[in-house]
Amino acid sequence: MAVTFYYAPYSTAESTKAILAELEHGLPNPLATRIELSISAGDTRKPAYLSDVNPNGRVPAIVHDGVPIWESAAITMYLGETFGVRAGNDPHQSSLYPEPGPRRGEAMKWIVWTNTTLTVAGARLAAALPVGTPGAVEKGSQDEVSKDETARKNEEEIARGDLAKNLKVLDEALKERNYLLGDQYCLADTHVWTFVSWLSVMGVSTEEYLHLTEWLARVGARPALKDQ
């Protein structure tokens, strides 16, 4: 087994966990060995982890054939390209990621948008929530910041407004289509789904976005994801 997956529970690593669940679904053996780390215990900042796995001291990260790959968007695209594209007409192989071409570009667009736009607003909200409330950054995390109550509330409001704009973009894109790329589910759906699901932990409601709400239920009901 050549892939090692480093994760911490309830972290950004949930995205890679879901991607692997989809790719491993129905396979006789898992694709990856899992290694659990504790952020609050400082595991992600231990010298060996920083030097051999991720110099940023964060999860998720994978090591494949000795090569460390970090950043959840890069990991999703890499695992999709490596394990998710059906080779030839083999019906036993999964086709969870598009072949090179415009559809691949669309998948990349949503994966990168999730990390650079949606999640940036979500991370600002997490950092603005008082430590200890659901979804707030963990105590001891490098993202923990202290601020006075007025500044905190202000930042929370701006972040919630930005998230609402982003969710509307997603809702519009899902109008008249079952999945982000059309009729066929792909790992871009998995990736975006994990981050939108994370937002609900912080009390961000998606109920007013009808298409998005239906899509969340559709993706969440997939056999590989429903017990996540």
Ligand X SMILES: N[C@@H](CCC(=O)N[C@@H](CS)C(=O)NCC(=O)O)C(=O)O
Contacts of 222 (CB under 8 A, 6+ apart): 22, 185
Q: Identify the H or E element spanning 32.
A: strand 32-36
Residue type, 64: H
The least CB distance from residue 8 to ligand X, in Å, is 6
CB 57 within 8 A of CB 50: yes
Nearer to ligand X, 73 or 209 (CB): 73
The least CB distance from residue 168 to ligand X, in Å, is 23
The least CB distance from residue 74 to ligand X, in Å, is 8
Nearer to ligand X, 78 or 209 (CB): 78
Chain-centroid distance of CA 97 in Å reads 15
CB 95 within 8 A of CB 86: yes
Q: Footprint of ligand X on this chain (CB under 6 A)?
A: 11-12, 39, 44, 57-60, 71-72, 115, 141-143
Nearer to ligand X, 54 or 206 (CB): 54
Cα 162 to Cα 73, 92, 103, 124: the distances in Å are 21, 42, 27, 10
- Picking from 115, 122, 120, 96, the residue whose alpha carbon sits closest to that of residue 180 is 96
Nearer to ligand X, 21 or 136 (CB): 136
The least CB distance from residue 200 to ligand X, in Å, is 16
The least CB distance from residue 124 to ligand X, in Å, is 13
Residues facing 63 on adjacent strands: 4, 68
Query: Exposed, middle or buried, 194 (CB in 10 Å: 0-12/13-18/19+)?
Result: buried
CB 187 within 8 A of CB 19: yes
Nearer to ligand X, 142 or 228 (CB): 142
The least CB distance from residue 141 to ligand X, in Å, is 4
Nearer to ligand X, 42 or 223 (CB): 42
